[in-house]
């Protein structure tokens, strides 16, 4: 179902970043071409080589990439992507997107993905502590991105990394994949 689709996977600094490797693998197995952008904090949880291994593509980690990667700047990545997925989507990246803050490769690239946002081809899978998820500022930012056209999947209820139970757990990769397939079903590909 995802053959011929270019999917840009953004990975942020949450413990759920390990699940994003499984998601990237499922996307590649489904026939999608996957490029991954990782924030600095995401790299603290899982290494770029894990994504490279399952997607067969380079991973982008900063705005100032090496000369051989120059053609894949934030605008090129935005132009390349049919669908943009951010998983996990921390409170930080949600706030950046809601307010147009562009201070790293991922936030800058997503900001340049306005056509995908307007067409509903940007998906975020929130993941954070249940108290953070319940924070009024976070909820306001989530509503803002939804009004812009960003879709969300989750969060789920369950055991969180801090050991508590509650709403904030990133949706499972299979559920995120289903949401991506729903988006893809509405896009006409040549």
**Catalytic residue at 113?**
no
Query: Which listed residue (43, 102, 111, 162) is catalytic?
Result: 162
Residue 164 · residue 98 · CB < 8 Å: no
Q: How many angstroms separate the CA atoms of 132 and 128, rounded?
A: 6
Residue 119 · residue 149 · CB < 8 Å: yes
Residue 176 · residue 87 · CB < 8 Å: yes
Residue 109 · residue 8 · CB < 8 Å: yes
**Active centre residues (catalytic):** 162
């Amino acid at each position: 179902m995802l053959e011929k689709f270019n999917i840009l996977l953004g990975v942020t600094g949450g413990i759920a970043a390990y699940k994003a490797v499984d998601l990237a693998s499922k996307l590649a197995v489904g026939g999608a071409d996957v490029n991954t952008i990782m924030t600095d904090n995401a790299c603290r949880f899982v290494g770029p080589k894990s994504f490279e291994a399952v997607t067969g593509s380079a991973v982008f980690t900063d705005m100032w990439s090496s000369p051989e990667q120059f053609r894949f700047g934030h605008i090129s990545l935005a132009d390349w992507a049919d669908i943009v997925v951010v998983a996990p989507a921390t409170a930080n990246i949600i706030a950046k997107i809601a307010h147009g803050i562009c201070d790293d490769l991922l936030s800058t690239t997503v900001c340049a993905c306005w056509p995908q946002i307007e067409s509903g081809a940007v998906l975020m899978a929130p993941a954070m502590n249940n108290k953070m998820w319940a924070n009024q500022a976070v909820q306001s930012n989530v509503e803002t991105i939804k009004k812009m056209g960003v879709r969300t999947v989750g969060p789920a209820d369950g055991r969180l990394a801090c050991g508590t139970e509650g709403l904030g757990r990133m949706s499972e990769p299979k559920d995120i994949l289903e949401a991506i397939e729903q988006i893809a079903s509405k896009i006409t590909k040549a």
